[in-house]
Structure 1
Amino acid sequence: MPATATPPWQGRPAPMPHPQLRVTNQDREQVVEHVKAAYAEGRLDKHEMDERLDRAMTARTHADLMPIMNDLYGARPAYVPRPPASFAPHPALEGGDRAGAAAAHLFALAGFFVVGPLLMMVTAGRTSPYIRRHAVEALNFHLTVLGATILLPFTVVGVVLVPVVWVLGLVLSVVGGVSAIAATEFRYPLTVRLVK
């Protein structure tokens, strides 16, 4: 056992996880190891160690673990929430990438619902991660539409919904194509993502 226990956040200040985030078994075990090391160094007596070990093993959130460690090593940097994902345009994308990604979405208008995105994924998607992301998203959406088209007619309401699903599919394909040309990410709603 090392002479001085170093908490995982010293040396490279990492922000503490959100206080209300539930802890994992690994989080609890790390705190237990640090409490044992503090006891071995003489910074805690046996009663304090037992009390902290009990609190560590029953902790549910990071807020429960913070008081156990703060007086041993000091407080971690405060929790800073991550900014929301940015959908700003990708300035480094070439025109070919944007056109290829748009084609993966717009093939639906030409009647190549599943085949078009699949072709874009296995051809241009090999060299361009941007085209692949859009092709995979379009492929998953059109597979979902195909599955809905096959399964919905088995219900009375489903027969009415099939044309709505197809119209919605065409509209969303146009929106996806425009998003690809604008170099922004696009996610189809209500999509089963079978292809990764």
Structure 2
Amino acid sequence: MAIDFKFWADAGLAGVLTQISSQQLVDGSSAANDFVVYFGAQSASVKAENSTDPGTAQLQVTVASNVADWAAGAVAANQIMKPTVGNGYKYQAQGSGTAVTEPAWPTTIGATVAQDGITYECIDEIHEPAECVLSADSAGLGTNTPGAALDIGVSVTGGVAVPIYLRVDQGAHPFGTYTDIKIVVPDLLQSAI
């Protein structure tokens, strides 16, 4: 069964959310960016539950990185990645090859490091999930814990849009538009009603 539950850009569940794009001012003084997205399925004949304990455990929404971790194996030219142990930066492979050993990542934008015949360039800072707050309403954005999951119930019925409020607090990132994060429901089980 294909998964019908998705994140949507609107309460009518008409437009699938494709990315979260957060902007930062050049002087680093940007206020937090707040978003409202919706979780649901267009069909009212399905429900979503937590796959670890259906009907008992809470479904949880979490923020995850949209940038893949470095991994040993084939690396394509221009591939973007982050270290396996986050350091706040993302890197781009300047050529292709086979990665064996993770490099000692530089933390200066524009700096490069070569490892296993592949040169990686530090291209920018990255938003981490811990810079994001999730809430069931706008008031919780100021009080909920950054990086914490959001419980949305033990069951969500299709045809209903569950609002998810998201705050991305940029901190002192350089000027730019960031698409480094996504929201997910990691233990999603969909079944027919």
**After TM superposition, is the score higher than 0.5?**
no
* Larger strand proportion of the pair: 2
Please give the range of the TM-score, normalised by the shorter of the 2 chains.
under 0.3
Higher relative contact order (CA 8 A, sep 6+): 2
TM-score by length of 1: 0.22
Which is higher, the Rg of structure 1 or of structure 2?
1
